Structure 1
């Protein structure tokens, strides 16, 4: 679990730095570029569609892990729009709260401890 957490911290730091450089050099208006690439039917667009499906899966998993409560659904929406900038800190928090139990990390404490 320690290596997993080191990886998450490294990803968060690297991505934050990269995002700052891109934002400073190209502006902060990502959505027109993102959807423009999709509309072009280019490889960049294909990557963006693929990436968006990962974001959707991430959001659904976070909401599911929280039993689709209103706060869980809200976290799922943040996961979708926040990407790894949300997911890395979330997984750091969840892995700490799970006390090293991967079943709790993946399923959430209620499902992991329910025996279902």
Structure 2
């Protein structure tokens, strides 16, 4: 399945159930591949945004892996693997890391 960012801002592709993120620039396309070969759909898609993301020019799409291995492959137009965190803005990465530091220790 191809995912294309047709917006003028960021599109965050969330690969679920793993919660992996890939940040797509306007016009960028990635392909999500599954090992599943059965009759049921391998993926379901959910588009969402919240006020803060919308104000920042960010839209979100969840691609849920419904069948097969949950470790689907994401590639660019040349077939290169696109890893989790692809093009994640530094300020977002910093905020996420800071918020993880605020979590209580697990016992």
TM-score norm. by structure 1 comes to 0.23
Task: From the two aligned structures, give the one with the greater helix fraction.
Answer: 1
Task: From the two aligned structures, give the one with the greater strand fraction.
Answer: 2
Q: Which has the larger radius of gyration?
A: 1
